[in-house]
Structure 1
């Protein structure tokens, strides 16, 4: 605290005049909006995956494909748990005045859920393509899609964060000196 009613400015929050609690509330709302998108996708995917074992075609799958299926369902279940975790976390700690810490843990669970969702999607794609396409092309196709996910979900945001954070830091230094 800096004596300004709980406001502690940081380079990241330049231009925002909010308390730690206000920042936590804003970050929580943003995180929940992000989770809604990922939760819906992973729940629909998991729902479809769970029905596969009850189709006649499942009995025709070779053991390696059944193993990939089981791994995919486990990954989807783990992703679902991680992406629903922040809601439970918030409910259990609500009113305890630890929202800033809850936001940190919910963010970590969300990131873990996104990584697990990536693994689930790649595994599901691998299984589907093994059943539906020429086996020689499957690894290449899956690697291409995996690379696309990594580019969209991680590389591009990290590049933008690095580029704009560095520019903001340079601008702040230039305005001081």
Structure 2
């Protein structure tokens, strides 16, 4: 009986590819996790400052939404680590990599919304100007360009499959 081995352009088996992709994914998650955890940590302290009680109701709602989004982003970006730990040794690494990749993408979207809400809150409190939503929109457009548009354009432009 002959085992057929599926090879990619890198001349690697499915398992080797899953191992490589897992390593790459974990490195990517480290960057995003650090950012979201620092942001989330700072957000958790705001409610304990004297200024919080003086915030307008709208700003308090934005703060609560921001904290919840940050918590969800943290969960999604830590999720792949838990997934790996709970399925390790079960011979399902290719499937685990796909699931972890999706969790990471959800985490990035949640991180984007957390950063958007945090920026909106900070600029509203700092300036009270009517141009704040426009500035936040411009920054979000920049995030979307860097995080999604450029990578998707690159994938479409240079992928041969």
TM-score normalized with structure 2 length:
0.96
> Quick check: 1:161 aligned with 2:155?
yes
Larger Rg belongs to: 1
The one of the two structures with greater contact order (alpha-carbon pairs below 8 A, sep at least 6) is 2
Aligned to 2:135: 141
3-state secondary structure, aligned to 2:130: coil
Aligned to 2:24: 30
**Alpha-carbon distance in structure 2 between the residues aligned to 1:137 and 1:8:** 55
Compute the RMSD of aligned alpha carbons: 1.1
Aligned to 2:6: 8
Q: Alpha carbons of 1:27 and 1:124: their partners in 2 closer, same or farther (altered >3 Å)? A: same
**Alpha-carbon distance in structure 1 between the residues aligned to 2:19 and 2:75:** 23
Q: Alpha carbons of 1:63 and 1:139: their partners in 2 closer, same or farther (altered >3 Å)? A: same
Q: Which consecutive aligned stretches of 4+ in structure 1 deviate over 6 angstroms post-superposition?
A: none
* Superposed displacement of residue 7, structure 1: 2.8
* Superposed displacement of residue 8, structure 1: 1.3
Q: Match for 1:132 among 126, 134, 146?
A: 126
Aligned to 2:13: 19
Aligned to 1:174: none
| Unpaired runs of at least 5, structure 1 | 170-177
| Unpaired runs of at least 5, structure 2 | none
Aligned length: 160
**Alpha-carbon distance in structure 2 between the residues aligned to 1:152 and 1:50:** 27
